[in-house]
Amino acid sequence: MPYKDTERDVVDIKSFKHDGSVHRVWSDNWVLPKQYMLHTHVEQQMCVVVHAGGRQPKQKEGQTYWTNRTPSVTFFIPKMWYNIVALIEKNGVRYYCNVASPFMRYDQTITYIDYDYDVIKYPDGSYYVIDQEDYYAHRKLYQYSREVDHKVKLGLTHLMSRIAQNAPPFDDVCVLRYYDRWLMARTKWNAL
């Protein structure tokens, strides 16, 4: 389902494991309307989501809803086997990249399957792959097919290339602009 393009499009983000079990859930995420997105992000049909951060995890319908301690802007790119979370921190923007299935949108929920590999890009430009052991353990536990294993590794390779080239959406100025746009919208909503 294509996502709505309205000022107050708020979604939950649900991450699953390969066996269908819920991994994490984040609530109260604002989908950035296309008219506020950079042309290159619109061209790539990205779904950009802003989260305020700073709230404690809460229980809802028997699930723990996680929160980022810091504000974040998440980039979901159609058909890509990863998503990118830009964490806005005091010392700059840190990118936490999840190797995952392509995202799906169902009503007010964005979903994906988490495949453990993560890449962290620090404000100084350095980046590291983490959680390789988790991937190998889960590949065996969940019996990933060759096709899934291939797509996960291809996703990791593509993600690493994107980071090395500093290709979109790895742009701190853009991330801060998107977050500022959310702050302006929130101020407008609170005034209503």
Question: Residues 96-130: pLDDT tens digits?
Answer: 999 999 999 999 999 999 999 999 999 999 999 99
Amino acid 5: pLDDT: 45
Q: For residue 76, give its domain range.
A: 10-185
What whole-number distance in Å separates Cα of residue 20 and Cα of residue 1? 20
Tell me which residue of 18, 14, 16, 9 sits closest to 26, measured CA to CA: 14
Residue 191 domain-assigned?
A: no
What whole-number distance in Å separates Cα of residue 125 and Cα of residue 163? 9
Residue 81 domain-assigned?
A: yes
Amino acid 82: pLDDT: 98
Structure tokens at 100: 């995952």
Active-site residue among 8, 24, 94, 146?
Answer: 24
Amino acid 45: pLDDT: 96
Q: What is the pTM of this model?
A: 0.89
Residue 152 domain-assigned?
A: yes
Answer yes or no: are the C-beta atoms of 178 and 36 closer than 8 Å.
yes
- Which of the residues in the chain have pLDDT under 50? 1-5
Answer yes or no: are the C-beta atoms of 102 and 114 closer than 8 Å.
no
Amino acid 7: pLDDT: 67
Domain CATH code at residue 46: 2.40.380.10
Residue 190 domain-assigned?
A: no
Residue 5 domain-assigned?
A: no
Residue 24 domain-assigned?
A: yes
Residue 135 domain-assigned?
A: yes
Which amino acid is located at 158 in the chain? H
Amino acid 9: pLDDT: 87
Residue 162 is a catalytic residue = no
**How many structural domains compose the chain?**
1
Amino acid 187: pLDDT: 77
Residue 4 domain-assigned?
A: no
Amino acid 64: pLDDT: 55
